[in-house]
Amino acid sequence: METTLEQLLVSTHANACLSCGKCTAVCPLSVQGSSFSPRRLVESVVQGDGASTLGSDWVWECLGCLACTQVCPANVRFTAFVRDLRLEAHSAAGANARCTHSGIIHGWMHLMASDGTTLNRLDWTDGLRISDDGDTVYFVGCLPFYDPLFKDIGAEGTDIARAVVRILNAIGVEPQVLADEVCCGHDLLWSGDEEGFRKLAGRNIELLRSSGAKRVVTACPECAYALKVEYPAYVGDTNLEVLHISQLIADAIESGALSLKSDDGGTVTFHDSCWLGRYQGLYEPPRKALSGAGYKLVEMADHHGEALCCGTGSWIECGAVNKRIQVERLQQAVATGADVLVTACPKCQIHFRCAQDDQGVRDRLSMEIRDLTTLLAEKLASDGAEH
């Protein structure tokens, strides 16, 4: 085990840690009073306390937001270090994260990973122009599953999927949507379950390769990252160009392929998802899209590379501290005076809505939260039927 951990220290550059504590200073968990500290986690492994570290809660608490890595003077790839620690803790020590939502989400991921599961996930496509052999695949992700699970907090699920296809149709793209698509597996990987991730990735890669398409677009930054980065790293390349929908929209507005009603849409503020911003550097496309649609964009106190995380990830380890992060972020959003908080990640929206649902904070954090796509779909020239 020590050998694996030693290799891990090398591969993630963690052995270069200077123990300076810059990471902990910016870690949203630490800032909100959690005992979690990136510096201490690295330090404990570096000092050879790996075995007990693998059994500790620390392994699972990191949000993976990448804020620490951005400020690290020693170039330690902390989130990669955490991810691989989790893989090791799970495979070698049998440890598991504490799942949120009664393990339902991990449950469907595991089911999709098991042989013989056939899916029934395209009920939302009525009235949309879908192609069987188009150049573009729209990778829907888990959106259809969010509808039943997050009905009570009003989270947007297949609303986003419909908006994406309508926008694509407006650009003149008739996307393929794959009936047998499974979860991208990103969250399994970050829950330590490499085997489950490999199975899901394998199924998707095969599907995408045989689709005949040239590119794959998704409204979920984590799906995009998984397809673009994690699949090639762990399983294999899809050989397709991977785009987040915001990139496509921004390009289409710029090229004139997409014309949106540019009447005054009011003031909005945009939340940079970790996996869209810090991981993929896609800060501007969503902002361009919003401006192009006539929205006045105001920024929160933390934005772009310094944006505060939505507070939780991979459907594990969510609690009081995570809620404080969400409340903090919502307070930042409310402070902008904007009418709408826009996200380009369905999960960020779920987490913010969940925090808002608490009767203790409901009044002061009341604010409309929308996905970039559903908001923009309202500005489509042909709008009316859908909303």
DSSP 8-state assignment for residue 99:
B
Residue type, 332: Q
Selected binder of another protein within 148, 256, 337, 384 (CB under 8 A): 148
End-to-end Cα spacing for the chain: 56
Residue 363 buriedness (CB in 10 A; 0-12 / 13-18 / 19+): exposed
**Residue 360, interface with another protein (CB under 8 A)?**
yes
Q: Is 10 in the site for another protein (CB under 8 A)?
A: no
Size of the site for another protein (CB under 8 A): 38
| 23 interacts with another protein by CB under 8 A | no
- Whole-number Å distance between alpha carbons of 342 and 374: 10
Our CB check for another protein shows the closer of 71 and 92 to be: 92
Phi-psi region of 221 (alpha: psi -120 to 50; beta: other; left: phi over 0): alpha
Counting beta carbons within 10 angstroms of the beta carbon of residue 369, is it exposed (0 to 12), middle (13 to 18) or buried (19 or more)? buried
Q: Residues in the chain, how many? A: 387
Query: Which of residues 46 and 149 has its CB atom nearest to another protein in the complex?
Result: 149
- Residues 321-350 as x/- pattern, contact with another protein by CB under 8 A: xxx---------------------------
Candidate ranges 200-208, 243-251, 253-261, 351-359; the one touching another protein (CB under 8 A): 351-359
Residue 108 touches another protein, criterion: CB under 8 A: yes
Judged by CB under 8 A, does residue 117 bind another protein?
A: yes
Q: Is 52 in the site for another protein (CB under 8 A)?
A: no
Site for another protein (CB under 8 A): which residue of 37, 100, 218, 247?
100
Q: How far is CA 150 from CA 101, 145, 200, 350, 355, in A?
A: 10, 9, 23, 8, 13
Distance of alpha carbon 142 from its chain centroid, rounded? 11
197 contacts another protein (rule: CB under 8 A): no
> Within 10 A of 93 (CB to CB), how many other CB atoms are there?
14
For position 144 contacting another protein by CB under 8 A, the verdict is yes
Identify which of residues 35 and 262 has a Cβ nearer to another protein in the complex: 35
Least distance from C-beta 284 to another protein, angstroms?
Answer: 33
**Which stretch in 24-32, 81-89, 131-139, 148-156 sits in contact with another protein by CB under 8 A?**
148-156
81/155 Cα distance (integer angstroms): 32
> Measured from the CB of residue 320, what is the shortest distance to another protein in angstroms?
6
d(CA 325, CA 54): 25
Among positions 3, 52, 118, 255, the unique one binding another protein when judged by CB under 8 A: 118
Q: Positive or negative, the Cα torsion across 233, 305, 31, 322?
A: negative
Q: Which of 52, 133, 263, 320 binds another protein (CB under 8 A)?
A: 320
120 contributes a contact to another protein by CB under 8 A: yes
Interface with another protein by CB under 8 A: which residues? 98-104, 106-108, 110-112, 114, 117-121, 144-145, 147-149, 151, 318-323, 354-355, 357-361
